Amino acid sequence: MTDVSAAQDTRPQMALLAQYLKDASFESPNTPASLAPGEPSPQIEVTVDIQAKPMGENRYEVALRTTATAKRGDRTAFVAEVVYAGFFELRNFPMEHRQAICLTECPRLIFPFARRVIADMTRDGGFPPLLIDPIDFTTMYQQQLAAAEAQASQPPATA
């Protein structure tokens, strides 16, 4: 008979210990004009930023900052910003893989909750709920790595 628990202790494991709304802001500087009937649909830009911070051995806080800006012409209809975070424990992962996990898998788990907060905020602000499309965090991470590698391979600028 083998000790199954001893074998499981060496497998990589990720646990979401807590998730929470860290910061939220909604601004609608041009209401009520921006809510008037017949106004054209706003152009909406969504930006996403991920920060991972070590919080002790094997533990990380991963914060997903999502900002949605809606404009009608040159007037801002609304700006919604949410910082939604998770407190994760990563056990038995090699150190060289932890950054990738923190910037891909961790935000993938908390994104639906940040998305819901933004949808609620925009709805409560008098606009239709903004349902942000799912995000491919792996592709986003790979693009950041490629950009960093390209910048590192550039010769230094001379004055």
If DSSP codes are grouped into helix, strand and coil, which group holds residue 61? strand
DSSP assignment of 87-145? EEEEES--HHHHHHHHHHHHHHHHHHHHHHHHHHHHHHTTSPP--PPP--HHHHHHHHH
What number is the average pLDDT over the span 88-97?
Answer: 91
Residue 95 amino acid letter: M
pLDDT band at 129 (very low <50, low <70, confident <90, very high): very high
pLDDT band at 158 (very low <50, low <70, confident <90, very high): low
Structural domains in the chain plus CATH codes: 13-132 (3.10.420.10)
Laid out side by side, the sheet with 59-72 consists of: 13-27, 75-91, 59-72, 43-54
20 has pLDDT over 90: yes
What number is the average pLDDT over the span 109-137?
Answer: 96
Kindly give the pairing relationship between strand 75-91 and strand 59-72: antiparallel
